[in-house]
Structure 1
Amino acid sequence: MHLHPRRAVVSLLASSLALSGAIVFAPTAGAVPAASCTVTPAANGTFVTISGEGFTAPRNLNDGESTEPLNVDANGNFLLKRFQKNVDYTVLAVNEDQSNIFVNCRMVQPETGTAQPETGTAQPPSTPGMGDASERAQGRTAGGLAGRDAAEASCSERPMPDRSQNHTDAYWEAWVQAADRAFDRACA
């Protein structure tokens, strides 16, 4: 079995957290607003909305298997949707000098309406249809190639999506899943 360094670090952090039962915050000068992260499942169970507030950029989101950069706005908020996963999400600091080194997201009850939380970074929900199917297919293809190429280069670093390209959430979700699958298959 091949252990990836990132997984080992995240597992170590998660184990420490589970034993201590507390969230670790780095000491800072002055009062820093508490950062929080919430995972809200959709009523139909097909996706989750992950929102956060009180963060300083740059930040990453980790689900225990993969890590992806978060788009934190000037107010310290972020909002994104992912396909439903029964996992624990954690927001990680990218720089060592950031406050709130890691914050575990808490799960709340599913949304019953169609209203989106107002965080200042809300993205319009994608509408299921032919465009999403096409974007998903393109994301799977590109992600699979990226995962394979990353594995050929080195099994120590997972591929990261280049989100500067303009694609839908369906594309990026398919890209990440396909990249992870191809990478794991090649590095097993």
Structure 2
Amino acid sequence: MDRSLRCFTGAGYDKGRPLLVQAAWFAVLNLVFVRWWLPARWRPALLRAFGARIGQRVLIRHRVRVHWPWRLEVGDDVWIGEGAWLLNLERITIGSNVCVSQEAFLCTGSHQRRSATFEFDNAPICLESGAWVAARAVVLRGVTVGRGAVVGASAVARRDVGPGAVITTGAAA
């Protein structure tokens, strides 16, 4: 298939806030939110100021990136580790007692591979209570990680992970 990326339109995608709010968030994200010197307890407040729904006792370490705060919902007692990236073009819902470890990537966005103009193919992500997305793991669009399930270090969750299930990159040596 010949692609014409120049003809990409993003048709039907709504960013959810006016351009001025988007620009303000990107300024706060890059100048303040990701910095090591910002106290971790202030990060939930900044996300709330931009429309995120954040529970109590949420720990968000430095270098965490959140694309659109208004498309983020986080329960109580959640840890989000250094360098995690929440690319939430669509909603990401994180239950309570969830750990998203260092450099994990939650990606709600994709493209239609059969589209000549590579239009969006986005879908939400849900991490149910007690889930753990380990270091450098990836959760792709449309996936639910069930209650108490684990996406192991460097594993890729391409489809739903059932409650209590564990997926890894391979067997231990």
Give the TM-score, by structure 2 length: 0.27
- Point out which structure has higher relative CO (alpha carbons under 8 A, 6+ apart): 1
Higher helix share: 1
Give the TM-score, by structure 1 length: 0.26
